Each structure stands twice: as structure tokens, then as C-alpha cells.
Amino acid sequence: MKTLVLAMVAAGVGLAGPVSAQAVDPRLSRELGRAVGEAAVQAERAADEMRAAAREAARGARQGYEDARGAEARGAGGPPPVMTEDDAAEACALAAEDEGYAIARLASVRQINRVWPVAGADGARPGGSGAGGSGWGVEGVIELRDSWRAPRGREMSFRCTIAGGEVVDVTLRDFVARR
């Protein structure tokens, strides 16, 4: 029985012969091509908008965390004052990433090399929140990429200055070979 079924199937396939090609209307083909192209462009724009929205949401989430922590500590809204070495490193890392987003799609601080106190003219304690008082200096390395799939990002050094309890300056620069 199985042999008979297989023979009928093989004969049926052989009888069908090659499939004939149908003529395609060139106008229909062009319209279909345009529609597919427009859909691809719209999908790419939507993906870019989603990436930008995700980046803004991440920034907002980080800032929201900082605002909430600062509001609890001070009893008011706004970013918390930078008082300690750890606060200085965190504030400068976030500020450097924000600057990096102006250059590339992805920015990530890879390391903090140095944090040092900067004494103000009034001799106040480093990291104080008084205007014109003392602050912090921070140096580190940030990696900039155009996509997660990029094999290697562009590394840049950054330097950040904190005065009066807030970030006042962030500078990104390429590495320079020193001899």
C-alpha cells in the first residue's frame, strides 16, 4: 500500500511539470517597491525616535533619583549639593555622559581616574556648598559609540569641575600621546 501511494505521489509531481511564469505589471511593481521603501524609512525614523526617547527616559530616571535623594536630604527640590568625593565622581560621570550624548548615540563612563579637592578663595572645606567656596575636580575616561554592535567605541578623556556644590564645567577631549 505504501509503495502504491509513493508511486502515485511521484507520478503526480511528474505530471504537474514546471510552473509557468506570470507576467508582472511594471507599474504595480514600482508602486509595491515605493510602498516597501516608504515603510522601511518610516520604520527607521520610528526606531531613531524610540532610541532618543529611551535615552531621555534614562536621563530623567537618573535625574529623578538624584532629585528625590537631594530633596530628602535638604527638604527641597532640585539636585543635591555635591558634598563628598563619591558625590563628585557620580555627578561628573552623569555630566560627562550627557556631554557625550551630544557627540554619539551611546555614551558610557568607563573609569574615574582621579578625584581631588579644590580649595576655594575663602579656604572653606572641599566640597562645600557655599557660593564661591571650594569644590572638586574629577578626571576619567568615557566611551562613545554609534551603536551597541560597534566593535569598539571611541574613548575620550574628560575633566569635570564642581564648585558651589554643583557641576560647573565638563570638558571632553581625545587622548594625546605623551612622550
- State residue 94 phi and psi, 5-degree precision: -65, -40
Closest residue by Cα to residue 165 from 90, 67, 84: 84
Say how many CA atoms lie within 13 Å of 134 toward its Cβ.
15
Looking at the predicted structure, is the pLDDT value of residue 138 above 80? yes
Q: What is the pTM of this model?
A: 0.52
Q: What was the pLDDT predicted at 90?
A: 92
With cell 510552473, the residue in question is: 19
Average pLDDT over residues 134-139: 91
Average pLDDT over residues 145-150: 84
Q: What is the largest CA-CA distance in the chain?
A: 103
Go through 15-53 and write b for each residue having 16 or more CB atoms within 10 A of its CB, e for each that does not. Answer: eeeeeeeeeeeeeeeeeeeeeeeeeeeeeeeeeeeeeee
CA gap 82, 103 in Å, rounded = 26
Q: What was the pLDDT predicted at 31?
A: 84
CA gap 109, 143 in Å, rounded = 6
Higher pLDDT, residue 56 or 88: 88
CB distance 95 to 141 below 8 Å? no
Q: What was the pLDDT predicted at 133?
A: 52
* Per-residue pLDDT reduced to its tens digit, 7-65: 554 555 555 555 555 677 888 888 888 888 888 878 877 777 777 677 677 666 665 55
CA gap 94, 97 in Å, rounded = 5
CA gap 106, 152 in Å, rounded = 12
User: What are the domain boundaries of the chain?
Assistant: 26-80, 81-174
- Is 177 buried (19+), middle (13-18) or exposed (0-12) by CB count in 10 A? exposed
Percentage of the chain lying above the pLDDT 70 cut:
63
